[in-house]
Amino acid sequence: MLPSLVMAAMSIIAIFLDSKMVVGMFIAATVAYFGLSFKKEVEPSYLNTLLIATLFVILANFSLPMDVILASIFLVLIHEFRRGHIWNIILYTLAAFAFLFLFDISSGKNLDVSYLFFLALAGGLTASLVESIESGADKRITILIAVATVFVIFKIYMPSTSLYILGLAFCISFVVSFLALKAGVADESGSMSATIVGTTLIIFTDIRYFLTLLSFYILGSVVTKYKYDVKLYFGVAEQAGGARGYANVFGNSLAPLFFAIHYGVTGSPLFSYAFVASLAAALGDTMASEIGKTSCKVYLVTNFKRVPPGESGGVSLIGEFAAISGAIVVALSALILGIIKANYFLPILLASFISVHIDSLLGATLERKGLLTNSAVNLLATFLSGVICIIFILLFYK
Q: How far apart are CA 277 and CA 328, in angstroms?
A: 10
How far is residue 329 from each of residues 311, 312, 334, measured CA to CA in Å?
25, 24, 9
Q: How far apart are CA 92 and CA 80, in angstroms?
A: 11
For residue range 347-391, list pLDDT tens digits in order.
Answer: 999 999 999 999 999 988 888 888 788 888 999 999 999 999 999
Say what the pLDDT of residue 110 is. Answer: 78
pLDDT-derived band at 137 (thresholds 50, 70, 90) equals: low
Asked if 54 contacts 26 with a C-beta cutoff of 8 angstroms, the reply is: yes
Asked if 364 contacts 312 with a C-beta cutoff of 8 angstroms, the reply is: yes
Find the mean pLDDT for residues 157-172: 80
Say what the pLDDT of residue 111 is. Answer: 77
| Single-letter code of the amino acid located at 286 | T
Say what the pLDDT of residue 141 is. Answer: 86
- Across 208-222, 224-238, 296-310, least confident range: 224-238
Between residues 309 and 48, the one the model is more confident about: 48
> How many CA atoms are closer than 13 Å to the CA of 214, on its beta-carbon side?
20
- Across 69-73, 178-182, 239-243, 330-334, least confident range: 239-243
Q: Is 65 helix (H, G, I), strand (E, B) or coil?
A: coil
Among 68, 72, 65, CA closest to 49: 72
Say what the pLDDT of residue 230 is. Answer: 64
- Across 157-171, 207-221, 272-286, 316-330, least confident range: 157-171
- Across 53-67, 89-103, 135-149, least confident range: 135-149
Between residues 375 and 338, the one the model is more confident about: 338
Say what the pLDDT of residue 274 is. Answer: 97
- Across 137-141, 236-240, 360-364, least confident range: 236-240
Q: Does position 282 have pLDDT exceeding 70, yes or no?
A: yes
Q: How far apart are CA 219 and CA 216, in angstroms?
A: 5
Among 187, 178, 175, 305, CA closest to 238: 187
Residue 304 is inside which H or E element, if any? none
Say what the pLDDT of residue 181 is. Answer: 86
Q: Does position 235 have pLDDT exceeding 90, yes or no?
A: no
Q: Does position 241 have pLDDT exceeding 60, yes or no?
A: no
Asked if 248 contacts 182 with a C-beta cutoff of 8 angstroms, the reply is: no
pLDDT-derived band at 245 (thresholds 50, 70, 90) equals: confident
Find the mean pLDDT for residues 181-209: 88
To the nearest 10°, report the CA torsion of 3, 8, 14, 20. Answer: 40
Q: Does position 284 have pLDDT exceeding 90, yes or no?
A: yes
The predicted model scores a pTM of 0.81
pLDDT-derived band at 221 (thresholds 50, 70, 90) equals: confident
DSSP summary character for residue 296: S
Q: Does position 115 have pLDDT exceeding 60, yes or no?
A: yes
φ and ψ of 40, to 5 deg: 60, 35
Find the mean pLDDT for residues 255-270: 93
Asked if 251 contacts 379 with a C-beta cutoff of 8 angstroms, the reply is: yes
For residue range 8-55, list pLDDT tens digits in order.
Answer: 999 999 999 988 899 999 999 888 877 766 655 556 677 788 888 998
Say what the pLDDT of residue 370 is. Answer: 81
How far is residue 320 from each of residues 129, 290, 377, measured CA to CA in Å?
35, 11, 18
- Within the chain, residue ranges assigned H as helices are 2-14, 19-38, 44-60, 66-74, 85-107, 113-133, 139-156, 163-183, 188-204, 207-225, 228-233, 246-266, 269-292, 317-336, 345-362, 374-396
